Structure 1
Amino acid sequence: MLTPVQFFKCLADDTRLRCVTLLHLEGKLCVCELTEALALSQPKISRHLALLRQSGLLLDSREGQWVYYRINPDLPNWAYPLLDDALKAVQASESFGNDLDRLRQMDCRPDMAVCG
């Protein structure tokens, strides 16, 4: 079970906060989408996602060649209002706007198009 200390440690890192807020907004994203949105390397994103998954904050699932991440729907009830508040706070920042713009401008999103 995710504890409040683990929860806040997860969100205390800028990269993890950006990943979690994008996932909270979008529902699910694959590593390639997060890499594009955050303009960071795949290994760096994957390390952060692994930590978030190990903490119980995220779940992953394989769909064909893609591995998708999403917020764990079985989080403690106290976590959801905090995620909502974190998203509201981060949405006001320029960096989140840039992340979202890069994600929305991504040419070949797995759920949006056939990528070859």
Structure 2
Amino acid sequence: MARTKAEEFSELLKAVADPTRLQILAMIAKSDQKEACVCNLTGPLRLSQPTISHHLKKLSEVGIINRERRGTWVWYSLNTERWGQIAKLFS
């Protein structure tokens, strides 16, 4: 693996290695629609909207989740292509 690719994956894995972010990813993956907005996460995680938004931004920056604005809300879903790259890394 080239150094630049290793650095890219390192940043991705650092972003995912946070317990709250792992919880967020699991909640998105297990949701009926395979997506969530901040409003779906504040109650179960018992965290404020700004805190959850911060974590979602970090996950979005490394491409592990997709974001889609619908009206006043932003909905997040898993980026399956990016997850495939992670799986390939460890296979």
TM-score range for the pair, normalised by the shorter chain length: 0.7 to 0.9
**1:33-64 Cα shifts (integer Å, max 9, x gaps):** 11122010011000110011011111110122
- Match of residue 60, structure 2, among 44, 49, 53: 53
Matched AA of 1:5: S
Which is richer in helix?
A: 2
Larger displacement relative to structure 2 (5-14 or 71-80):
71-80
Which residues of structure 2 form unaligned runs of 5+?
A: none
Partner of 2:30: 25
Once residues 12 and 58 of structure 2 are traced to their aligned partners in structure 1, the CA distance between those partners, rounded to angstroms, is 11
The 5 A counterparts of 1:7-46 are 7-26=12-31, 27-46=34-53
Verify the 8 A CA contact 1:10 1:17 in the aligned structure 2: no
> Per-residue deviation at 1:79?
2.6
Give the AA of the match of 1:22.
M
What CA RMSD, in Å, does the superposition of the two structures yield over aligned residues? Answer: 2.4
Q: Look up the SS of the partner of 1:50 in the other structure.
A: helix
Q: In structure 1, what residue type is equivalent to 2:25?
A: V
Letter in 1 for 2:10: V
The 5-angstrom pairing of residues 63-78 of structure 1 reads: 63-75=70-82, 77-78=84-85
Q: Which amino acid aligns with 2:18?
A: D
Distance 2:17 2:38 in 1: 20
Aligned counterpart, 1:6: 11
Sequence identity, in percent?
35
What are structure 1's unaligned runs of at least 5 residues?
A: 82-116
- Measured after TM superposition, the shift of residue 77 of structure 1 is 2.1
Work out which structure has the larger RCO, using CA pairs closer than 8 Å and 6 or more positions apart in sequence: 1
Q: How many residues align?
A: 82
